Amino acid sequence: MDELTAKVQQIAELLGPNPYLQALIIAVAFIVAGKVADLIISGIIGRVAQRSTNDFDDSFIELVHRPVFVSFVLIGLGLATLRVGMPAAPEFLTLGLLKTIGIFVWFGAFAGFNSLLVRTLRKVSKNKLVQSGMLSLLHNMAKVVLAALAVYFVFLAWNINVTAWLASAGIVGLALSFAAKDTLSNLFAGVSIVVDAPYKIGDYIILDSGERGVVTEIGLRSTRILTRDDVEITVPNGIIGNSTIINEAGGPPAQHRIRVGVGVAYGSDLDHVIETLQKVAEDNEEVLANPAPRVRFRLFGESSLNFELLGWIADPANRGRLQHELNCAIYRAFIEQKIEIPFPQRDLHVRTMPAAD
């Protein structure tokens, strides 16, 4: 930068002895140069980018061309300020403002590129980390890093001692780490959940405490679950990280298996019961044909022979409704086929009778 300043001042001296005229010409020259660079980026390179099949390069050029032009203008104004030869205080103030404007202009450009990159990856990438939410985590981390760099360069622009601020930030950070250990525990657990991906948004999960619902959001601090009663449950990631989570939508397919238990009276025709239950499942359009539904004789109960109807459904969200429909259909079918559903019975044997008065 010092070499550029020296060369520009040498060229400006050829324009005449008036420093204000030299400063004006320097500023105008850099504005023109910035406009030429803007035309090259948005014109020539922009026309080439329009031939591509995606809009990433178009959006990238839209983000870049304005900061490039503003940078030329700010550099020209800075060199013009140095050429005028202001007193120390106004010169320091003017240069500090120009540097700050440039920092914020490029901060906005990099922040826009960060968002553009995330949107593009979400559209084209099927990677597990992208789908699980890792991309959102990296996006937020990049925002924090960009903001920290912007503050750092603003301090440098105003000649503020950064070392003292960093030391103070380290002490404050150490104190906050002790005060917010639970929050940090949830934060690290959230990172682990995002990376390991035991579940993703849209999955139906069952917590240790018995709550069941669809995952609506995976944040750094907590996971949100919407139950079938439209009640939202917010669970800290630290608790989920140390719990056993049942993911009903896990595994290669998204299908879910439902089980409907029913008891029949002793003495019933087993084959008839199996055929009736099998037909109930086959008649329900939402019970999948592949894998096929099946019936299993599970247990000799105290008052009944216990069977279980097993079937697969496409969406775990429909489990409760389909269990209701199958229960109703089984009851009607048993009445029609004259299959008895017993109730608990006890045989009472009296050994002695009390003496008659």
- CA nearest to 253, candidates 218, 288, 208, 211: 288
Q: Cβ(40)–Cβ(52) under 8 Å?
A: no
Structure tokens at 304: 């009944």
Q: Tell me the mean pLDDT in the region 299-314.
A: 92
User: Which structure tokens are listed for 222?
Assistant: 């907590």
Full set of structural domains in the chain with CATH: 2-161 (no CATH), 162-251 (2.30.30.60), 256-336 (3.30.70.100)
pLDDT confidence of residue 113: 92
pLDDT at 105: 94
pLDDT tens string 15-65 = 556 778 778 888 888 888 888 888 887 776 666 666 666 777 778 888 888
- Whether the link from the prior residue into 198 is cis, omega within 30° of 0, is no
Residues 78 and 95 sit within 8 Å (Cβ to Cβ): yes
Please state, in angstroms and rounded to a whole number, the distance separating the CA atoms of residues 158 and 92. 8
More confident residue, 228 or 269: 269
CB atoms within 10 A of CB 86: 14
Average pLDDT over residues 220-239: 87
What is the percent of the chain with per-residue pLDDT over 70, rounded to a whole number?
A: 81
**What is the Cα–Cα distance from 158 to 161, expressed in whole angstroms?**
9
Residue bearing the bigger pLDDT, 243 or 166: 243
pLDDT tens-digit series, residues 274-293: 999 999 999 999 999 998 99
Average pLDDT, the chain: 83
* Dist. CA 320–CA 299, nearest whole Å: 24
Poorest-pLDDT segment among 129-138, 139-148, 260-269: 129-138
CA dist., res. 95 & res. 190, Å (int): 43
User: What pLDDT, on a 0 to 100 scale, did the predictor assign at position 106?
Assistant: 95
Most confident of 37-51, 132-146, 208-222: 208-222
